[in-house]
Amino acid sequence: MKKNGILNSEISKVLSDLGHTDMITISDCGLPIPDGVEKIDISLKFGVPSFIETLKEILKDMKVEKIILAKEIINDNEIILKEIKKLIDKNIEIEFIEHEKFKKVTNKSKAIIRTGENTPFANIILVSGCIF
């Protein structure tokens, strides 16, 4: 039995299978999941688990070279944006795109991890880096 790290077997598998430039998405409870993209729903109730709590755990186990955010987060969810910036390494590229385009880019994700977050634009696409 695993005793450390991410206990969710679906998330562990997705992270283990990632290659360089592969993408996963962590979403709030309202982001639509495109057909054909694996949904890992860890939501329990509004706010549980939170987006930031989930992102913290994923970042402990994933090498990230770039993140993609909806540009609407800048004005509509400054608190989450500030927390994201605290969590990511200063060398990680941040790309802001329109929310409608963001939803289309999630089609390329290996999986979307749906949290219980219920604040606007609390969504992130993580682009996998190379560990060597």
Q: Terminal CA-to-CA distance of the chain, rounded, Å?
A: 28
Report d(CA 39, CA 95) in Å as an integer: 23
Report d(CA 24, CA 5) in Å as an integer: 18
Query: For the chain, which residues make up each domain, given as ranges?
Result: 9-128
**Residue 99 known to be catalytic:** no
Q: Looking at residue 125, what is its pLDDT?
A: 99
In tens digits, what is the pLDDT along the chain, a chain of 132 residues? 788 899 999 999 999 999 999 999 999 999 999 999 999 999 999 999 999 999 999 999 999 999 999 999 999 999 999 999 999 999 999 999 999 999 999 999 999 999 999 999 999 999 999 999
Q: How many residues does this entry show for the chain?
A: 132
Q: Looking at residue 51, what is its pLDDT?
A: 98
CATH homologous superfamily of 9-128 equals RbsD-like domain (3.40.1650.10)
H or E element in which residue 128 lies: strand 124-128
Q: Looking at residue 14, what is its pLDDT?
A: 98
Q: Looking at residue 38, what is its pLDDT?
A: 98
Given the residues 7, 13, 17, 20, the one annotated as active site? 20
